[in-house]
Amino acid sequence: MIRIPVTLNFSVSLALCALAFVFAFATATGAFAQPQELTPQEHALRILDDFMTAFNARDTQAWTKTMHFPHVRFASGETRTDRTADEMLARFSFADFAQRFDWHHSAWLKREVVQSGPDKVHVAVRFGRYRDDGTLTTAFDSLYIVVKRNGHWGIVSRSSFAP
């Protein structure tokens, strides 16, 4: 048997030790584990986060992607059903909304899952509208219904005391 001497310089040895440590740490902490599937409640709250982020960014495309259509809204004594995102956006302007309500942004003040099943979640919310200087102008209670259709979670209905 022939022996071939192998010598590693210090920096290579140190790098191999560091790599072994990182691998051992990642394995022990589950870094290589498959991500856990979100619960229906977690999906619903994530959609509400995305809804509010898109609304505040005035990003109509991202905003309507958080919804399912037809989309029903109960507010101001009316029931409005928008069959498509385009139909909804034809009646809504962020610029007009901001001017009408002295609005800069909105934020969730409360979100509570009040009922849920595998494909539908009812979330009671309270949201606030704020001016540019950060002062709260109004707050409203609402009920958002979030459903899973064709593997995608989205808001299908909102019942609000907001105008």
Q: Do 48 and 144 meet the contact criterion of CB atoms below 8 Å apart?
A: yes
**58-116 confidence digits (pLDDT tens):** 999 999 999 999 999 999 899 999 999 999 999 999 999 999 999 999 999 999 999 99
Tell me the CATH class for 40-160.
alpha beta
Q: Which two tokens stand for residue 46?
A: 């994530």
Q: Do 122 and 143 meet the contact criterion of CB atoms below 8 Å apart?
A: yes
**Rounded-to-10 torsion of CA 46, 50, 51, 52:** 100
> Residue ranges per domain, the chain?
40-160
CA 156 – CA 144 distance, rounded (Å): 8
Question: Is-above-0.85 flag for pTM?
Answer: no
Give the type of residue at 152.
Answer: H
